[in-house]
A = this chain, B = another copy of it.
Amino acid sequence: MSRLSVELPGLTLKNPIMPASGCFGFGKEYSRFYDLSELGAIMIKATTKEPRFGNATPRVAETASGMLNAIGLQNPGLAHVMENELKWLEQFDVPLIANVAGSTVEDYIEVSEVISTAPNVKALELNISCPNVKHGGIAFGTDPAVARELTKRVKQVSSVPVYVKLSPNVSSIVEMAKACEEGGADGLTMINTLVGMRLDHKTGKPVIANRTGGLSGPAIKPVALRMVYEVSQVTSLPIIAMGGIQDEYDVIDFISAGASAAAVGTANFVDPLVCPSIIEKLDQLLQSWGIDHIHDLKGRSWNNAGEAAYHRA
């Protein structure tokens, strides 16, 4: 077994590195840079029942060490995704995690039921935390009772394990995580973006057409890390962590905080080769530290994992 291979509910991962949803489309574009089979998994772009055009432009704005986006869940709709995008991805030896979004509980259920039957979809990621759509999205992500109920309903119809993607825009992420666990979630992914805003200095108006957007990138890493640290100590669910990951050290940090795997979002835009580059360097780093398996470091920020390994190194 390799240093980097990881087993999670529904997912047999060559390595714990995957692009985060919405930052990688359905993979086609980045397949021009490298073989997608190198990835641990791919979290595909949010899929909704009907096609969506999304928000008006501008949809992105830069901030200090971060960016705001308000794409608005643009996607070609469930049927098209099933017939085209997922089919196309079958040529790669890589499990998919399907990011599911909707405006109503029924939307989530319908999409989940269908998309979970695709042969390469090995898990669902319920996007209850998208800040950029008027209905649904974030509403599901800030009320524990609503999140629990949604999880439960989706679990009933899904053919694959269900991960719930948590929003950081809450008073207590621990409560949200527990609610999802009670609802029967198989895992958590965290964090989605923080709600933020940028104004045009001269006009004073929002730069992003949607006015507010989701903040991602290195700026939010301290918040993401803290939340993974908190949640991993109170639930037994595996966590796929994200938020500002740019290099192998960031991955180590999230694993140390208690995550089981890590996803890379914004950094793909900065360096299209960032995922394969992290995979390679992570392996080298662990080797140079004398760590047999990446999970030897899991949770060592709050437990004693990795102490021995570290001192041996």
Contacts and interface: CB of A to CB of B under 8 A. Distances in A.
Contact of A197 (B169, B197, B229): B229
A198 B215 CA distance: 19
Contacts of A310: 202-204
Tell which of A219, A297, A306 has the most Cβ of chain B within 10 Å: A219
A198 B220 CA distance: 11
A223 B252 contact: no
Interface string A205-221: 11000011001011111
A196 interface: yes
Contacts of A198: 222, 225
A300 interface: yes
A204 B249 CA distance: 10
Which one of A197, A198, A202 has the highest number of Cβ atoms from chain B below 10 Å of its Cβ?
A197
Interface in A129-181: 142, 169-172
Interface in A180-206: 194-199, 201-206
A13 to B, nearest CB: 21
Contacts of A171: 142, 169-171
Nearest to A257: B199
Contact of A222 (B63, B170, B205, B252): B63
A252 B221 contact: no
Nearest to A143: B171
A183 B197 CA distance: 28
B201 A252 contact: yes
Given A66-B219, A196-B223, A249 B170 contact: no
9 contacts: A63-B221, A64-B217, A194-B222, A197-B222, A198-B225, A201-B252, A204-B300, A204-B310, A206-B301
Given A63-B221, A195-B223, 7 more contacts: A64-B66, A169-B171, A201-B249, A204-B253, A212-B226, A212-B229, A218-B219
